[in-house]
Structure 1
């Protein structure tokens, strides 16, 4: 992505130099940030428009079928597993992961940048989830809740935060210069965590499957946006013309 951004910035710069005599070298970066913001706002509007399908009978039927299928696997051992996974997607779960991640970043990479970036992605996803929940105002499923919940249902905050936070860690893994088998193992583990957290919310009776899908989509928006902005900042810092 960084190489593509550099090429795009160069193309914008060359175009602006040809068109304008008075040229500000920061302008290409401003244009890209504006484009990124437009993409995010458009994506959010599209996401909100898609929530109209929450009221359709077809989606309700799909939700019921998937929920019934997931609940058919309930057992004491699986319940303990999914309670653990759902707690991994709670505040204290992320806090524990961030503490461990901070130690690894400090001891191995000798910098805090990745920890700060990951924390920012998580905060943005969590804050925007609360706003989306209030705007859409969907009630929780009317079945037994195996864990306590206090907020609204759509989109799933656990699914959205998991996709944003652990999805960003997947992106960082692709950048690390480590053994390819270790890298593949870490990425596989993170994908497993994202999926398990989402499924746990259906299994525990606190979310519809469509809540999980909506959370994954919204979380993915934030991952893509943050990766774009972080790479843009890094290129801007290293650009000798700025």
Structure 2
């Protein structure tokens, strides 16, 4: 065992990362399934207590008497039951936080901070794996974030939305994908960061942020959001979220293993994808409150078969794309 670790330290490190990631996701999923509803109820009671406590503060009382319009506006921002209240406030704060993280990451990359040293270390560490037998598996995974596969998923989603008569959902998907893709393209043009030297599959675009990492969150995150909204089972919702997170992490990891991107490129891509996914979800929730989207539809057997057919079609298309287009680039 010790000899194996000494001969293949990079493979062992990668294996440990995968094992720890999957174990952590399984633990979080288990805890959410077991205690999630109780935690949500506790948070709800805590939020109500905090709201009442803040309302009794002398400062808030003075604001209510002197500036009733301002007090009403603040109260509305934390009100439940409608989109422009607590939902919009939480989504807006999340977007601001993601933008702040992205700005901080950009500053670190531009100023060649410690993150760049980490990037180079990880890249050199992964370059040793270029002749490893794990490369084909990661090429398949990375192909899930390719442009042809993304276009196929959009087409299948358009057909599915038409079949279930929920066309407005497609607007959110397009905003998430087109917005994040455009943002990523412009960021690449602005920063013009070169890709790692030992790149395995030749790319002709710049490195920061990673387009594959961006699309993994924007696309598969939105699909997970759809599945969660359509599902009435809390356990199924938690498992869907866990699976989506794992898939996004694997796509991001594949770009590092194949030396297509630095670690900070993946982090930047995840943040950009999260930003536009949040914007798309915000629009979906607003349309839901306007009665444009019905998440409680009853799925017929043919419609369910169509969903599974779409999943199989995407997997087959990904395999064909990896085999016909990606694998020849190894030569």
TM-score, normalising length: structure 1: 0.72
Maintained 8 Å contact 2:98/2:271: no
Q: SS of the residue aligned with 1:155?
A: coil
Q: Distance in 2 between matches of 1:198 and 1:119?
A: 21
Which structure has more RCO (C-alpha within 8 Å, separation ≥ 6)? Answer: 1
CA offsets, 1:32-79, max 9 Å, x none?
A: 99x988985886476345312113352222112333444455555421
Shift, 1:155, TM fit:
0.8
Give the match for residue 142 of structure 2: 86
**35-44 vs 98-107, which moves further:** 35-44
Matches for 1:65-84 after TM superposition, within 5 Å:
65-74=121-130, 76-84=132-140
Bigger CA radius of gyration: 2
Give the match for residue 59 of structure 2: none
Closer/same/farther in 2, CA of residues 190 and 103 from structure 1, 3 Å limit: farther
Closer/same/farther in 2, CA of residues 106 and 152 from structure 1, 3 Å limit: same
Q: Distance in 1 between matches of 2:229 and 2:290?
A: 19
The match for 1:50 among 92, 105, 109 is 105
- Kindly indicate whether residue 176 of structure 2 is the aligned counterpart of residue 98 of structure 1: no
Q: SS of the residue aligned with 2:247?
A: helix
Shift, 1:169, TM fit:
1.8
Give the match for residue 23 of structure 1: none
Provide structure 1 residue ranges, at least 5 long, that are not aligned to the other structure.
5-14, 20-27
- Kindly indicate whether residue 160 of structure 2 is the aligned counterpart of residue 130 of structure 1: no
Give the match for residue 170 of structure 2: 115
The match for 1:225 among 271, 279, 286 is 279
Give the match for residue 199 of structure 1: 253
Q: Distance in 2 between matches of 1:189 and 1:124?
A: 24
Q: Distance in 1 between matches of 2:194 and 2:135?
A: 23
Superposition RMSD on alpha carbons, in Å? 3.7
TM-score, normalising length: structure 2: 0.55
Q: Distance in 2 between matches of 1:217 and 1:102?
A: 26
Q: SS of the residue aligned with 2:134?
A: helix
Q: SS of the residue aligned with 1:89?
A: coil
Give the match for residue 173 of structure 1: 227
Shift, 1:151, TM fit:
1.1
Closer/same/farther in 2, CA of residues 49 and 235 from structure 1, 3 Å limit: same
Shift, 1:187, TM fit:
3.1
Closer/same/farther in 2, CA of residues 18 and 138 from structure 1, 3 Å limit: closer
